[in-house]
Structure 1
Amino acid sequence: MGGSVRTQTLIALLCLGLCRGPWDQVQAGYLPKPSIRADPSPNVTSGTRVTIWCQASLQADVYYLYKERVSEPTSIEISQDSSNKASFSLGFMSPHNAGRYQCQYHSRNGWSQRSDLLPLVVTGVYSPPSLSAIPGPVVASGGNVSLSCSSQYPWQTFRLLKEGGADAPRPLELKFPREKRQALFPVGPVSISHGGTYRCYVSPASYPYAWSLPSDPLHLQVTGLYRKPSLSAQPGPSVSWGESVTLQCRSEIWLDTFYLSKEGSPAPPQHIRLQDTTAPYQANFNMSPVTSDREGTYRCHASSSTSPYLLSHPSDPLELLVSDSHSKDYTVENLIRMGMAGLILVVLGILLFRDHSSQRRIQDEARR
């Protein structure tokens, strides 16, 4: 049948488990191992559709997908020409199909090695933990910090992930023989590569690839990259209660993002990004009206919006003093008012007593 195109049938066999078949009788490693990946990601939310792709370096006619610790196979037939890749649709992601996968292919030249293991994780199965930094999320280069992942329920496995970037480290994992509610991940000595956004997850030991919802993000910022800015108060660092004050953070070099923090405060730093990037490079933090809880020691940092996790050295401390003259005035006024009210009550009492005595005299005279 000259000129005709010979059609081959591609059979993709999904072998759920490290099951064994006739291909195991062939010496593994005869052909190079394929690559394996998950689309859209190997870490997806519960209910997301997932496809696993197995790609060879040459044309193949049969592909196999293995899932760890499951024995019964499932077959999928695809009618098409020989191909260098095949897709396996897992449907909607759930704890049932989470786990570790490998793939393998066969061609006219024999069998390939198995691919690297692909961990497929489903998130959103359990309620999220919380993530905090001890002593705080702003740490000097070379210093140390601990990231605390905690939950209201006991767990056996805690995981810490850093988001984004090619330099993001692999997930840090802590396992405990007994169920715990908190895990501490020490970080340090801190370098600029540690700056970034972190989240943590929890999971039970029986389902290591079924994770909780992620914690709220924690932004770890590293200081010491640029020279320190200056911090001043306008009109001055001593302010009366109820008045206004502006704390000015100013950099000598071009930096467009400024952070203001108060020592000992659990609140995250205030931040301002400049819209006008011409000199002076200064951010104004307005406080109005000033109350006693504003009193304290402040510092500021500066950074570039292109590297928001890398900050300058901290400014020199500025101590803001709030006088309570207004509250003293109010106290005096209240005392005066109370004194006047007491005096009025005394006068009224005297008048009532005199009126009562006068009526008794009139009644006595009438009897006589």
Structure 2
Amino acid sequence: MTEHDAGRYRCYYYSLDGWSEPSDPLELVVTGSYSKPSLSALPSPVVTSGGNMTLQCGSRGGFYRFLLIKEGDHRLSWALDSQTQPSGQPQALFLVGLVTPGHRWTFRCYGCYRDRPQVCSHPSDALELLVTGESGKPSLLSQQGPIVASGQSLTLQCRSDVGYDRFALHKEGGRDLPQSLVLQPQAGLSQAHFPLGTVSSSHGGRYRCYGGYNLSSEWSAPSDPLDILVAGWLRDTPSLTVQPGPRVASGENVTLLCQSQSLWDTFLLSKEGAADPPLRLRSKPGAQQYQAEFSLNPVTSAHGGTYRCYSSDTSSPFLLSHPSEPLELLVSGDIPKPSIWADPGPIVTNGSPVTIWCQGSLQASAYGLYKERGSEPWATRIPQNSSNKAGFFIGAMTPSHAGLYQCAYYTTGDILSERSDPLLLVVTGVGGPPSFSAQPGPVLASGGNVSLSCSSRLTSGPFHLLKEGGADPTRHMAVVPRMHAGRWQAIFPLGPVNTSHGGTYRCYGSSSSNPNVWSQPSAPLHIEVTDYTVENLIRMGAAGLVLVVLGVLLFQARNDTRRIHDAARM
């Protein structure tokens, strides 16, 4: 096909009555003659199922008209004459709808000139719309926290207990739609990391993520929004003070005062390690300064911790000043009990690294880590750079590292704090995986009962059952097995079940001498709990029964596909 073949064609046929009427015209367009235009979605490439979408095709090449093609549709989908914008760039706006998740909505556009309307440019880059539904929303978090410093490396993590195969990340007002395949599930969660590079002012904004399956074009409902705030961008460093003082009794009223000599209309107060976003208040003029008063009335032990404040402006709400000096609030005059956690998690594969973190006080002079409630520290660390926490790094997890850990710290006057709550560290991957099955089957109606069977020839100690996506991955069911048909077998009964019991389960074996050293995980088992009771089926009749059977078959097909994917990952 060359440019000379482009044009409009019609065909005829001849019979005894003579020549027929001409066919409808067929327009052949030859592409690849000019530079490609750009294609974007307004206001973003995210659209709710059943909604409309506007696509913008534009170029500086002075094209007379633009063509929009939908992948999978061999017809010439849309053609519009260009309209010149105030910037001098011609463009066309295509209204697309109603968008449904039946298949992928992927578009490209082309530009053409007036004198040769059937000879057009190279195609634009492909634009895929993200069609969202109402399925379970994932969660989105920043590994560095919601406030990041300019020049710092930023990575966002999207995760879910649903078991999605892929995730997408979208910034409000942005036109890009980064996508990522799911990582190997950890502690029952499917997750994906989105490295966004070195932080600049453009990274500030509101983000959401979505989960989906490779075999489906529909994505989940959006995660709750995550606001990323870039600190150090505004040339200001406010001060933070507390009244009546940094040591208060539980039940007192406390005011944190953030002040600046610069005219900023907003102040933010952030507590280190808090899950909630920073508090925002409008500034008020004070004595030669601008300030905001953050009241904590009345305070409890939960208010204790380290605070910083920032100044900002409503015209750029995601850009912040440098942080104030840290201020530590001590409640009831007691030394706060430290907190302890493991990164990336308390269930670690044999040979993998893990860091045990202990967070206490800015006044801490040293941290001690205790194993199995021992009287002497297993290891000690000195906090670095005036930090209120210390990390205990284990380069390669081994069975000897499994067990209970606690931490404590020394503060002014060599006073030793109370020990933290215990942290159970489990090592997995020691020994072959057990077999895992459900009786009578993985699909059952609400109110029914199911038995999950975990068996192995290798391990005779407790078997452990984990449900993926649990808020606390160390909570699990442990059952001592019995010998059955030459294998050690443990039965985990579930029931009467409801929809909350649905999800993905795995089981592990362990030895009776060291129940915190687990085998490799079994293959995943997906349990589906439906709302179809006998009464519902009677009311639904034969047609309803057919729908239920079809639903079971579809679930089984998806289950088989997931097993194939999981086997490939293992």
The aligned counterpart of 2:71 is 68
- Write the letter of the residue equivalent to 1:219: D
Give the secondary structure class of the aligned counterpart of 1:224. strand
Pick closer, same or farther for the CA change 1:90–1:232 going to 2, 3 Å. closer
> Which residue of 1 is the match for residue 260 of structure 2?
251
Q: Which amino acid in 1 is paired with 2:331?
A: V
Map of 1:51-90 to 2, 5 A cutoff?
57-58=63-64, 66-70=69-73, 73=75
Contact 1:34 1:112 in 2 (8 A): no
| 1:96 and 2:99 matched | no
Cα distance change of structure 1 residues 278 and 169 upon mapping to structure 2, 3 Å threshold: farther
Normalising by structure 2, we get a TM-score of 0.44
What is the match of residue 124 of structure 1?
132
Whether 1:157 and 2:163 are equivalent positions in the alignment is no
Quick one: which amino acid aligns to residue 177 of structure 2? P
Q: 2:273 aligns with which of 255, 264, 278?
A: 264
1:1-368 matches, cutoff 5 A? 28=31, 42-50=45-53, 57-58=63-64, 66-70=69-73, 73=75, 91-96=97-102, 98-102=104-108, 109=116, 111-113=118-120, 115-116=123-124, 119-125=127-133, 126-164=135-173, 168=174, 170-176=176-182, 181-208=190-217, 210-225=218-233, 226-274=235-283, 279-323=288-332
- Check whether the contact 2:99–2:131 (CA below 8 A) recurs between aligned residues: no
Q: State the Cα distance separating 1:75 from its structure 2 match.
A: 8.8
Q: Which residue does the alignment assign to 2:449?
A: none
Distance in 2 between residues matched to 1:53 and 1:324, nearest whole Å: 62
SS in 1 for 2:192: strand
CA distance in 2, matches of 1:46, 1:295: 45
The alignment covers a number of residue pairs equal to: 294
1:188 is paired with a residue whose SS is strand
Deviations 1:168-224 (A, max 9, x none): 47222212597871011223322222111111122222345x332221111111111
TM-superposition CA deviations, 1:236-283 (whole Å, max 9, x none): 222223221211111121122111122232232222122669952111
**What is the CA deviation profile of residues 281-306 of structure 1, one whole-angstrom value per residue up to 9, with x for unaligned ones?**
11111122222222222221111222
CA distance in 2, matches of 1:34, 1:145: 31
Contact 2:63/2:113, CA 8 A, preserved across alignment: no
**Residues of 1 paired with 2:143 and 2:33: CA distance?**
53
Q: Using a 3 Å threshold, how does the CA distance of structure 1 residues 47 and 293 change in structure 2: closer, same or farther?
A: same
Q: Deviations over 1:41-61 (max 9, x none)?
A: 6532111135768899447xx
Q: CA deviation at 1:70?
A: 4.4
Cα RMSD over matched residues? 3.9
Deviation at 1:87, TM superposition (A): 8.8
Once residues 113 and 228 of structure 2 are traced to their aligned partners in structure 1, the CA distance between those partners, rounded to angstroms, is 48
Matched residue SS, 1:309: strand
CA distance in 2, matches of 1:51, 1:304: 32
Q: Which has the higher contact order (CA 8 A, sep 6+)?
A: 1
One-letter amino acid of the structure 2 residue matched with residue 113 of structure 1: C
Higher helix share: 1
Write the deviation string for residues 119-147 of structure 1: whole angstroms up to 9, x where unpaired: 25242224321101113111122222321
Q: CA deviation digits over 1:324-353, x for unaligned, max 9?
A: 69xxxxxxxxxxxxxxxxxxxxxxxxxxxx
For normalisation by structure 1, the TM-score amounts to 0.65
Residues 290 and 54 of structure 1: is their aligned pair in 2 closer, same or farther, counting only changes over 3 Å?
Answer: closer
**Alpha-carbon deviations, 1:9-48, whole Å to 9, x = none?**
x99xxxxxxxxx9755x75456887886767765321111
Distance in 2, matches of 1:284 and 1:261, equals: 13
**Runs of 5+ in structure 1 lacking a partner?**
1-9, 12-20, 326-368
Give the percent of matched residue pairs that are identical in Structure 1 and Structure 2: 41
The change in CA–CA distance for 1:322 and 1:51 in structure 2 (over 3 A counts) is closer
The structural deviation recorded for 1:112 is: 2.3
Whether contact under 8 Å (1:29, 1:111) holds in the other structure is: no
